[in-house]
Amino acid sequence: MLDTHARKYVQPTILSTAKLLLKVGLSANQVTWIAFIIGASSGVWIYLERPILAVCVLWFSGFLDAVDGTMARLTKPSPWGTVLDITFDRIVEISVIIGLAIAFPDSQLPLLLLSVSIIVSMTIFLTVGAVSEKQGMKSFYYQAGLAERTEGFILFSLMILFSEYLTLITLLFFVIELYTALQRLLEAKKILQHKEREM
């Protein structure tokens, strides 16, 4: 939701950063790798009981993730870059979940349920992107929903910083992800039925 509706407020900063990184000679894919390495370290910092550092690297990687997409659009978007971007996003999320699961074993079941809900929601998201002829700013159709990446980062941050409420926040995240999956499934039905009628 925030990715779709609030992007315009932060886009000037993202754009200026993208132009600066291009000027110093970095490519979009190189920034994707940098964002991935930084973001994937968040799980390690959770395990080492450095929650503030874990949240900082998570958000910095998310910022660079937005920057690399803008860099690609300023140059030439590549399908390989899209594959890397989506894959690395999930690995960063997995890093956070694994870090929390190791650090807080009592919350492993809710974290497992959250993982399942993310898998279901992303499966719908990617499948609709593959079968739909629509395209947005990205190189595939981007389905909006209640839980987009920014909402996920907010909830992950709350899980990291307020670990005494980890189970409760994780279950809330789980419900939001399931709702998002249902949103996307219903939208997919409308898109594909409309497409069938046009054929």
Superfamily (CATH H level) for 2-198: CDP-alcohol phosphotransferase transmembrane (TM) domain (1.20.120.1760)
CB-count exposure of residue 77 (10 Å: 0-12, 13-18, 19+): middle
Over residues 38-94, the pLDDT tens digits come to: 999 999 999 999 999 999 999 999 999 999 999 999 998 888 998 999 999 999 999
Q: Average pLDDT, whole number, for the chain?
A: 89
Task: Indicate the pLDDT class of residue 145, thresholds 50, 70 and 90.
Answer: confident
CB contact at 8 A, 146 and 179: yes
